[in-house]
Structure formats: C-alpha cells, structure tokens
Amino acid sequence: MTFLPDLPSDADLSPFVEAGLRDLAALVALESVSAQHRMLPETADAVTRLLEAEGFTVRRFPGEVAPVLLAEAGQGPRTLLIYNHYDVQPESPLELWDSPPFALTERGERLYGRGISDDKGEFVSRLAALRAVKARNGGQLPLKVRWLIEGEEEIGSPSLASFVEQHAGDLKADGCWWEFGSITADGTPQLFLGLKGIVCLELRCRVADSDLHSSLGAVVDNPLWRLAAAVASLRDASGRVTIPGFHDDVRPPSEADLQAVAALPEARTPLQDTYRVTRFLGEAAEHQHRSNFMPVLNVNGFHGGYGDAGSKTVLPAEGFVKLDFRLVPDQDPARVVALLRAHLEAQGFGDIEVVELESHEHSGRTSPDEPFIATVRSALEAVYGTAPQVIPSSGGSGPIHPFLHHVGVPVAMMGIGNVGGRVHAPNENILRRDFVSGVRFGTVFLEALAQGE
C-alpha cells in the first residue's frame, strides 16, 4: 500500500508554477538544436545553474556533440533516477509557426515554443515539483535524486548507451522517471512502461550512370521496380514482417502486459478524428495489442525518377528507400540488419545497397507488477482523479535498453504532453493545466516515493 501525502492546492503550488514558467521561458529561448549543434554547451550551462541552485552536485561529461549532465541531491532511504534531455528538434518549417519558436508564448489554454513539451517543459515541471517538496519538508529533499540530462536525444542519443553502461553504479535507483508522458484529451494520465527498439536504414539501387529513355525498358532493368519488389518482400498486407528469422527472438508479452493492454480503451477514433486515417492495419480489437507488442517495418520515404506533373518516359538510373524497423524485446538491431541483408540476397536483390543510418536501439519494457510502478500509479490516480492508462509499450523508441540492462532500474513514463502537442512540429505546445498538474503530480510522487517502504 502506497503512502500518499496531502495534495497541494493550486494556491500552494502557484509560486512554484510561476517560477517554473519563468525558467521554462529562459530555456525555450536557448536554441539547443542538436541536429545543427546549436547552443548546446550554453543550454547545458543554464540547466546546470538551475540544478545547482537547488543544491545539486552536477558533473559534466563530454558527449558526441553535447555535454551529458549527471546531478545528485537529497538524502533518504529511497533513490529516484530522472532522465531528461535539453536538446530540441529543428524549428523548420518556420513559416508554419504562429509565434516565434524560441519565445515562450501563451495563447488561450496553451503555451507554445520549440521544446516546451519535448523536453524542457517536462524537465522544468519536475524541477518545480522538487522545489515544492523541499518547501513542504523544511528545505530538505527527503530522498536521493539522481538526474541524468543529455543533449543528444533528438539525434538518437549516440552517447547515452555507453555512458549508462560506464556509470551504471552512479545511476542505481528504486526507479527511473522517463523524459516524457502524456495526458489524454479527457484528462486521463497515460503511463508508458516500455519503448520499441529502432533500426533506420536506406536501400539504394542503381542500374546506370545516367537516366535512360524508357524505350530501353525491355533490355535494362528498372531500379524503382527492383526497390519496390524488395520493399514488397519485407512485409505482407497485414503488416507482418516476412524476413526469415525476424520473429525468432521476439519475447512474448507477459501475462501482466497482456492484462494491461486488455484494459486499454479503444484507440482508433482519435486517429480517425485527428488525421482522417482511412487504412488501419488489423482488426479494431487488435489495435492496442499490435501497437504495444508488434514489431514493424515502416517505409519512411521512396524516391527516384520523374516526380513533376504529367508523364516523362524515363528509365531512371537510380532510386532509394528510407526504412525504419520498430523492434520489441529481445530483437537485436544488428541481427535484424544481417537478416535483412541475407533476405535481399536470397530474393535476388543482392545488388541493392543497405546503408545503416544513425544509431540503433534495443527495445525494453518494465513490468506493470514492479513495486515502483505501483507507487507511480497510486500517485497518478490521486492527482488526476482517475486511474492511469497503463501502456506496456509505446509505439515509439528511445534509449531505454541500457537503463534496464546495465542499471537494472524499473522505468516509468509519465508527464505533461497532450495529444495535440505537435511535438517535433510547428506550434509545439503544452496545456497550462497539464503543467500545473505535472507539478502537483511530481510533488506527490516524490513524497510518496520518499516515504514508501
């Protein structure tokens, strides 16, 4: 049974919320675009100052393009690891923003700006909660907080896996609070417990040095047909990957994971309403099961030859396809690449070049049965007035695997994102309401964890 502290009122929280929003405005103003190596040391400095002001000891390590920060503060029998990142996605296309991307702007119920949700808003809401906890506990933080903050998450966290492995001893904790989370449109918190792995690849095919007239199509092979046939061979119409051996290592979902998914609400309607999706895969009843447990092949892009209006009777010299695989436990990214290469070779597509893009990630899931997760769920239910949706795995990916594998810490993902939050897109936003609730949740959660057995 989880101990639950009194809920702080809006009035109690107000000074921490307002101070937090000032900190958030200052962080949003720092253009920490990791893909473009913009203002990363400066943003690491600003984060360091905020943490040091709360009594954290901050260590700084070099990453591939941005510093990794590892901070520690507080004393108590329990330890919480928090993972956030201070880098953001590029702001382009600029013309689709309704206010400057690097200026926190409030309009109606929402606060806008690049990184306001992902991930500066999450970081600041947790910092504000920590300040509230200290104020409610005589200036002391009644548990140990280890805070890992990187600046390369938006480029695939290339430094993180080896950092976590090397510093596993410094990251030990009763649980890890992941960098994101979200609240549904009706105010229900979504608690994610896992992430899919990812492999990004490019396939390239070339048949000549320059484009040919398509009258030669009887005697010269077509690189776009070859790529199409190769891509077609990778999955079937149901979406199941058809590469031999691909499913061999898939760990079946546990009974607890299956039960959690069985309790999740219908999820197609929001997709239909928001995106007018016309072609779903699988039956409606399988939706959540597929989303949580199914490894996937995505075609991100396919390009070659003529693309303007009308026709041009060209036989293109070359083309390329961008792919991502979303993996589940215990699929190994390197093995997936090897299986893909062997499959293409066996299908007669050995001429198609396979280029690996960026770093790969393994999937990972924390069990809903973990005691740490029970504390998270109780705190969420207390603050939001409704039980959270417990989602065993996001369809998305992230560097969860080294935390599970090297540190052995359970991971919970809860935060302040919203379904219309336009993360990675123009007009990224959070709801003010979710920020306030996030500070309240953090306060309750930290105290509950500190006082638990």
Cα separation values, 250 from 295, 317, 342, 343, 431, Å: 9, 38, 19, 18, 38
- The answer to the question of residue 218 lying near a second copy (CB under 8 A) is yes
Of 14, 306, 346, 350, the one binding a second copy (CB under 8 A) is 306
Query: Per rule CB under 8 A, is residue 261 in the interface with a second copy?
Result: no
Which range binds a second copy by CB under 8 A, 51-59, 112-120, 299-307, 334-342?
A: 299-307
Size of the site for a second copy (CB under 8 A): 84
Does position 427 interact with a second copy (CB under 8 A)? The reply is no
**Which one of 36, 298, 367, 451 is in contact with a second copy (CB under 8 A)?**
298
The C-alpha R_g of the chain, in whole angstroms, comes to: 24
Q: How far apart are CB 368 and a second copy at their closest, in Å?
A: 20
Which residues 367-396 are close enough to bind a second copy by CB under 8 A?
Answer: 394-396
Q: How far is the CB of 189 from a second copy (least distance, A)?
A: 19
The one among 161, 296, 373, 444 contacting a second copy by CB under 8 A:
296
For 42-70, give the secondary structure using H, E and C.
Answer: HHHHHHHHHHHHCCCEEEEECCCCCCEEE
When asked if residue 157 is in the footprint of a second copy (CB under 8 A), the reply is no
Please work out, in degrees rounded to the nearest 5, the angle formed at the alpha carbon of residue 65 by the alpha carbons of 59 and 67: 10
Of positions 114, 120, 196, 440, contacts a second copy by CB under 8 A = 196
Choosing from 78, 85, 134, 287, the residue that interacts with a second copy (CB under 8 A) is 287
| Binding flag, residue 442, a second copy (CB under 8 A) | no
Residues 171, 47 contacting (CB under 8 angstroms): no
How many CB atoms sit inside 10 A of residue 406's CB?
Answer: 18
Q: How many CA atoms lie within 13 A of 370 on its CB side?
A: 22
Q: Compute the distance between CA of residue 29 and CA of residue 14 in angstroms, rounded to an integer.
A: 23
The yes or no reply on residue 179 touching a second copy (CB under 8 A) is no
Q: How many CB atoms lie within 10 A of CB 75?
A: 11
Window 308 to 367, contacts with a second copy (CB under 8 A) = 310-317, 319-322, 324, 326, 348, 351, 357-358
214 binds a second copy (CB under 8 A): yes
415 binds a second copy (CB under 8 A): no
- 129 is an interface residue for a second copy by CB under 8 A: no
Q: Beta strands 411-412 and 68-73: pairing type?
A: unpaired
**Using CB under 8 A, which residues numbered 159 to 178 contact a second copy?**
none
Task: State yes or no: cis peptide before 330, omega within 30 of 0.
Answer: yes
398 touches 84 (CB < 8 A) = no
